[in-house]
Structure 1
């Protein structure tokens, strides 16, 4: 859906101007009657707001709201709406690294600290409140995290890697989120596809699953998987047929390992996103995996993203780690002993 940002800006300005007009017209009486500064929005109903939006969308600059008439809040299309670059992405790393504190005592030290962490430091405040940019960035990051969970992995990513797709016993995204147990087992059709299309008895079986962040898979897997497959092949290992699992949880790798008879299984999943990043991917590995085995038998390489372990670096590291697991014939806690 195409969104007219100028129209949205105009609607926002209009609503704000009308609330101010309401406050000026009747806010004083409300305060004297109640003894406090009530929110003047209480006198505004949804019907008035709906009519206002329709008027502005239709180009009617003379709008009425609560008995008040205004000329779109004094809005003039020829005047600039923003004093900043509206094309700038406030969630980008570059923007987040700019200190928002007014007159810091040691600007260079603050910039160094901000470069070394994704934590929200150096954001300053406006009185007791967050600054507008900080608040908007938080909301934008939250929206990206929600999208990472709810959206699907791009089909072109799956196609570019030449992966066939199977699905777990989850029927949709909602069931995937509310029934983790169903995400640990393949559907009947998925089981048959794996049996038909995967080679039997590989040294390593590689799997890609959406997990809780499709964004993480979209951002990283195309750089990790080719490097890992090339490294394993160069090491003389027999690599199984990689494929994609929709609505997959980590433990689905156990069933797959049993189906194909793999010595080592490695599944890439998108990790639950946070406000720091929605692009974090992890690799979970297990030797001689079995359904119902304890989680302590898994080895995990986490934090694979551009601000953590880079995708290419992760691919090279996983190659060495898989060879170590095969040599020791152990994974997880047993590998450390």
Structure 2
């Protein structure tokens, strides 16, 4: 009888990757697999797409028409201002200019500011205007009613272009605000190109440094959801105004109240 051809050995089933289950809990790039000495093509292309989204976010612009259509539902006036940086190139090359109002905006606030307020809210494009466009409206829709119910007097909402966090110090001083709340697009990462940060400062005035501020970051549906962010900010703003301080001297103890 002729010899029968040898049967190929069955391909062994690869062992499951113990990291794969963690992919459901994080947007971090884990358990991507391997193709030779590199990652698979799909993972490499996804990385390049995320990098493109991050670059686009840096150069995104405030959708002022949509924001101005949304804010009236909060029953607050709005003002538009700019920093000293006239364009995105200047903004990226001169961070100090992004912290200062332009002469025109400074004069505008001096003319229109009347009296004082407890909280001045500034929407700043920062390094991702997309974050403001996507998240500022839903967050303020929850936070502003809480501030009103607590009896705080709110100033006009400022739309600040080519702006960094510290621009709120000059705005707050010109408005006579006890506290400024700056909502700003955070530096985009490769998993979150549209993350919103909220910085507040008691007693705003030019020359303050970051130790005088508090920050609640990663506000977005995939990070810190709007209701949780609004509740946390409301607690911290109340405490800052009650204790007349912000920054390193103010700690978030809201979890202790719930315990």
- Tell me which interval the TM-score lies in, with the shorter structure as reference length: 0.7 to 0.9
Partner of 2:6: none
Partner of 2:91: 176
Please list the CA deviations of residues 29-72 of structure 1 after superposition, one character each: whole Å capped at 9, or x if unmatched.
xxxxxxxxxxxxxxxxxxxxxxxxxxxxxxxxxxxxxxxxxxxx
Contact 2:83 2:161 in 1 (8 A): yes
Distance 1:213 1:322 in 2: 24
Partner of 1:135: 44
- Counting matched residue pairs gives 235
Please list the CA deviations of residues 144-172 of structure 1 after superposition, one character each: whole Å capped at 9, or x if unmatched.
00110012122333222244311111111
Computing the radius of gyration from Cα coordinates, the structure with the larger value is 1
- Which has the larger displacement, 110-119 or 168-177? 110-119
Please list the CA deviations of residues 112-153 of structure 1 after superposition, one character each: whole Å capped at 9, or x if unmatched.
311111111121121112211111111110110011001212
In structure 1, the gaps of 5 or more residues are 1-102
Partner of 2:240: 325
Match of 1:206 among 114, 121, 124: 121
Contact 1:265 1:289 in 2 (8 A): yes
Q: What are the equivalent positions in structure 2 for 1:170-319 lying under 5 Å apart?
A: 170-319=85-234
Partner of 1:58: none
> Residue 105 in 1 paired to residue 12 in 2?
no
Distance 2:205 2:121 in 1: 16
Q: Which secondary structure does the structure 2 equivalent of 1:220 belong to?
A: helix
Please list the CA deviations of residues 219-272 of structure 1 after superposition, one character each: whole Å capped at 9, or x if unmatched.
211111121111100111111111100000110011011101111111011011
When residues 199 and 221 of structure 1 are mapped into structure 2, their CA distance, relative to the original with a 3 A threshold, is: farther
Displacement of 1:111: 4.8
In structure 2, the gaps of 5 or more residues are 1-12, 73-77, 253-259
Q: Which secondary structure does the structure 2 equivalent of 1:175 belong to?
A: helix
Partner of 1:119: 28
When residues 221 and 200 of structure 1 are mapped into structure 2, their CA distance, relative to the original with a 3 A threshold, is: same
Contact 2:79 2:156 in 1 (8 A): no
When residues 188 and 332 of structure 1 are mapped into structure 2, their CA distance, relative to the original with a 3 A threshold, is: same
Distance 2:228 2:133 in 1: 17
Distance 1:246 1:208 in 2: 9
RMSD (CA atoms): 2.0
Contact 1:200 1:262 in 2 (8 A): no
Please list the CA deviations of residues 274-302 of structure 1 after superposition, one character each: whole Å capped at 9, or x if unmatched.
11110111111111122112321111111
Distance 1:124 1:195 in 2: 59
Contact 1:223 1:312 in 2 (8 A): no
Tell me: higher relative CO, structure 1 or 2? Use CA pairs within 8 A at least 6 residues apart: 2
Contact 2:20 2:30 in 1 (8 A): no
Displacement of 1:198: 4.5
> Residue 151 in 1 paired to residue 60 in 2?
yes
